[in-house]
Amino acid sequence: MSLNIVLDHEIILDLLSLTVNDTQHCFNRIRKPNVRFWIPACLAAMLENQINANHHQSLAHLFAQEVKVLTALGTHWPQLPERQINRIQALISLDAMCLAGTTVIWTNQEQFDIANEAEEIIEWGDHEFLYGVLAEYEYASDIHMNDLANQQLTLRNQLEQRIFHTMRHGRYVMGEEIGELEQRLAEFVGVKHCITVACGTDALLLALLAVDVSALDEVITPAFNFAAAAEMIAFIGAKPVFVDIDADTYNLDVNLLEAAITPQTRAIIPVNLYGQCADFDTINAIAREHNLAVIEDAGQSFGAQYKNQFSGGLGTIGCTSFFPSKTLGGFGDGGACFTNDDLLADKLRRLRTHGQRERYHHELIGVNSRLDSLQAGILLAKLQVLPQELAARMQVGQRYSELLKDVVKTPVIADYSSSVYSQYTIEVEQRDLVRDQLAKRGIPTAVHYPLPLHKQPAFSFLAQDNSILSTAEAAAQHVLSLPIDSYLTAEKQQEIISAVKAAVG
Ligand SMILES: Cc1ncc(COP(=O)(O)O)c(C=O)c1O
């Protein structure tokens, strides 16, 4: 989690003073990664005149030191208590409430009028108090599976600008953000078309409909996987045919593919599990030979590269998810399809809006599956930092592997693919025991996934021969995902690594 320090106006003036003072010393000492400083926008505007009159350094000086503007003010006027003694202080506290994570107001005032609503969330205090909070915060150092607050706070201003922009133009469905995002995503992936949809699951459904999979057709997909692909195959009345996985990459074992193809097979959905791509050259060659469509499930691999091609552009249609915890995630559900095929792109666009090309003229049976303009704006803000975030995330994954490779089975990344480590998943004996021990040390873990798909009650109707899916079954018993995100610090990662070593030791 992040520690936010909101500055009151006297602290800001001290920091801008040309005369060296205690506040400046304190500021330099408490600047650490994950500590963020904020100036409420109301103060910035108010202080401009004072700064000029007193020959202080300009506010730009603070912004250059990574102090950010907090722009929440407008939302809070109606909440201001009528008889609040100090309205500016109350406002600062209400603004500060908009920040995710532990938030402290830094002030030299002996009394600070925190508005009632903020009382339980916001603390305030002087230099000494801040050192205390910082020490406590470092000691507590919460570890999350995927800490989304850090990213949100880093991009706060860009995110707010995007959100306010959508509120201003008011086209909440299919606003201008959609076209802009689709163009940027297509460029990023390196394909002709991107069609955004409401979630990754819908992306798979629309892709299946676009390539004409229908009832009684068969679609091959790996047995060890998130349920969405198999679910959507079954949802349209087709039959999921589960194939076992490769024991190292956890992706579809291409050696078993030919044997699973029957005259009813219509398509293959390889799923790029945990962030690395399946063996697409082999899959595509087999698919071509049998005239099958390949739907790439890139729900966990957005940003990964297979040879020189980005994930999403590896099959007939690529599908991804913008669920918040994904490598590119929104503030809610979202997804996209990618293709180089003009006709398929056109069909996907119609399928997502009730089969319409023209309003109220339904050429196909479609669905309502559009990405919201607000989500598109948020994704556009995040897309700008995606390359840096991916690099940081990959570094975290590689550091885990380097430091854990002698104690547990670490991910094996095939030479044809990179991994974005959407999950950093190890294998351990006595998985549940290890999990418990890590939990006791405050380290969350997850199991992706505890049951292979053929063992899920929802797919029991398939009655597929389990004996051929033994690698999937073994993986389900041993896999364990550790916390990972692009902002995980080396210190926290070391804490996790030490705990894993102790637990398996
Ligand atoms: C591999 C994979 N495919 C598809 C999905 C479904 O995406 P969504 O949750 O956006 O529907 C997920 C979601 O976690 C996933 O991991």
CATH of the domain at 30: 3.40.50.1010
Task: Supply the pLDDT for residue 115.
Answer: 79
Q: What is the CATH number of the domain that holds 411?
A: 3.90.1150.10
Whether residue 303 sits in one domain with residue 195: yes
pLDDT exceeds 80 at position 152: yes
Whether residue 224 sits in one domain with residue 346: yes
Whether residue 67 sits in one domain with residue 86: yes
Cα(453) to centroid of ligand 1, in Å?
14
Q: Does residue 147 lie in a domain region?
A: no
pLDDT exceeds 90 at position 280: yes
Looking at 38-52, 113-127, 458-472, which range is the least confident one? 113-127
Looking at 32-41, 115-124, 178-187, which range is the least confident one? 115-124
Q: What is the CATH number of the domain that holds 263?
A: 3.40.640.10
Of all protein residues, whose CA lies closest to atom 8 belonging to ligand 1?
200
**Would you tell me how many other CB atoms lie within 10 Å of the CB of residue 431?**
18
> Which residues are within 8 A (CB) of 227 and not within 5 positions of it... i.e. 6 or more apart?
453, 456, 458
The answer to whether the beta carbons of residues 37 and 79 sit under 8 Å apart is: no
For 388, what's the count of Cα atoms within 13 Å in the CB-facing half-sphere?
8
Looking at 100-114, 274-288, 361-375, 437-451, which range is the least confident one? 100-114
Q: Does residue 259 lie in a domain region?
A: yes
pLDDT band of residue 141 (cuts 50, 70, 90) is low
Which of 123, 140, 157 is where one domain is finished?
A: 140
Task: Supply the pLDDT for residue 83.
Answer: 67
Q: Which atom of ligand 1 is the closest one to the Cα of 199?
A: 10
Whether residue 120 sits in one domain with residue 26: yes
User: Look-up: residue for tokens 């791509």?
Assistant: 277
C-alpha separations of 169 from 158, 164, 165, 379 in Å: 17, 9, 6, 18
Q: Does residue 156 lie in a domain region?
A: no
Task: Supply the pLDDT for residue 137.
Answer: 77
How much is the average pLDDT of 437-458?
96
Cα(127) to centroid of ligand 1, in Å?
46
Ligand 1 touching residue 321 (CB < 6 A): yes
Cα(271) to centroid of ligand 1, in Å?
10
The rounded Cα 336 to chain-centroid distance in angstroms is 15
Average pLDDT over the chain, rounded to whole?
Answer: 93
pLDDT band of residue 212 (cuts 50, 70, 90) is very high
Which of 226, 233, 331 gets mutated to test ligand 1 (max ligand atoms within 8 A of its CB)? 226
Which of 348, 367, 383 is where one domain is finished?
A: 383
Largest Cα separation within the chain, whole Å, is: 83
Both structure tokens of 7: 């500055």
Tell me the pLDDT tens digit for each residue of 289-335: 999 999 999 999 999 999 999 999 999 999 999 999 999 999 999 99
Q: Is the peptide bond before 449 cis (omega within 30 degrees of 0)?
A: yes
Ligand 1 touching residue 222 (CB < 6 A): no
Task: Supply the pLDDT for residue 75.
Answer: 67
Ligand 1 touching residue 323 (CB < 6 A): yes
Cα(217) to centroid of ligand 1, in Å?
23
Task: Supply the pLDDT for residue 95.
Answer: 87
Task: Supply the pLDDT for residue 124.
Answer: 79
Which of 348, 383, 418 is where one domain is finished?
A: 383
From the number of C-beta atoms within 10 Å of its C-beta (0-12, 13-18, 19+), residue 342 rates as: exposed
Of all protein residues, whose CA lies closest to atom 15 belonging to ligand 1?
299
Ligand 1 touching residue 333 (CB < 6 A): yes
Task: Supply the pLDDT for residue 53.
Answer: 84
pLDDT band of residue 131 (cuts 50, 70, 90) is confident
Of all protein residues, whose CA lies closest to atom 12 belonging to ligand 1?
299
Of all protein residues, whose CA lies closest to atom 13 belonging to ligand 1?
299
The helix/strand/coil state of 15 is helix
The rounded Cα 276 to chain-centroid distance in angstroms is 16
Both structure tokens of 432: 């549940």
User: Look-up: residue for tokens 């899959």?
Assistant: 283
Tell me the pLDDT tens digit for each residue of 398-436: 999 999 999 999 999 999 999 999 999 999 999 999 999
> Which residues are within 8 A (CB) of 445 and not within 5 positions of it... i.e. 6 or more apart?
145, 435, 438, 439, 480, 481, 482, 483
Whether residue 92 sits in one domain with residue 29: yes
CA distance 260 to 414: 23
Looking at 67-71, 144-148, 242-246, which range is the least confident one? 67-71
The answer to whether the beta carbons of residues 504 and 434 sit under 8 Å apart is: yes
Cα(350) to centroid of ligand 1, in Å?
22
Among the listed residues 255, 246, 256, 316, the one whose alpha carbon sits nearest the alpha carbon of residue 276: 246
User: Look-up: residue for tokens 């108010």?
Assistant: 46
Degrees (nearest 5) of the Cα angle 50, 53, 59? 50
Q: Does residue 164 lie in a domain region?
A: no
pLDDT over 90 percentage in the chain: 77
Residue at 206: amino acid letter = L
Task: Supply the pLDDT for residue 140.
Answer: 67
Q: Does residue 165 lie in a domain region?
A: no
Task: Supply the pLDDT for residue 208.
Answer: 98
Q: Does residue 338 lie in a domain region?
A: yes
**What is the dihedral angle through the alpha carbons of 496, 499, 500, 505, rounded to the nearest 10 degrees?**
160
Task: Supply the pLDDT for residue 205.
Answer: 98
Cα(328) to centroid of ligand 1, in Å?
12
From the number of C-beta atoms within 10 Å of its C-beta (0-12, 13-18, 19+), residue 457 rates as: exposed
Query: How many domains does the chain contain in total?
Result: 3
The answer to whether the beta carbons of residues 301 and 280 sit under 8 Å apart is: no
pLDDT band of residue 145 (cuts 50, 70, 90) is very high
Whether residue 216 sits in one domain with residue 364: yes
How much is the average pLDDT of 439-453?
96
Q: Does residue 199 lie in a domain region?
A: yes
pLDDT band of residue 54 (cuts 50, 70, 90) is confident
Whether residue 397 sits in one domain with residue 374: no
Q: Which domain holds residue 16?
A: 3-140
CA distance 176 to 415: 40
Whether residue 487 sits in one domain with residue 355: no
Q: What is the DSSP letter of 191?
A: -
Whether residue 434 sits in one domain with residue 368: no
Ligand 1 touching residue 297 (CB < 6 A): yes
Tell me the pLDDT tens digit for each residue of 68-117: 888 775 666 777 777 657 888 888 888 888 898 889 999 988 888 887 77
Whether residue 183 sits in one domain with residue 90: no
Whether residue 179 sits in one domain with residue 73: no
Residue at 178: amino acid letter = I
Q: Does residue 121 lie in a domain region?
A: yes
C-alpha separations of 291 from 214, 254, 262, 297 in Å: 16, 17, 12, 19
Angle between helices 490-504 and 431-440 (to 10 degrees): 130
pLDDT exceeds 80 at position 123: no
Whether residue 260 sits in one domain with residue 179: yes
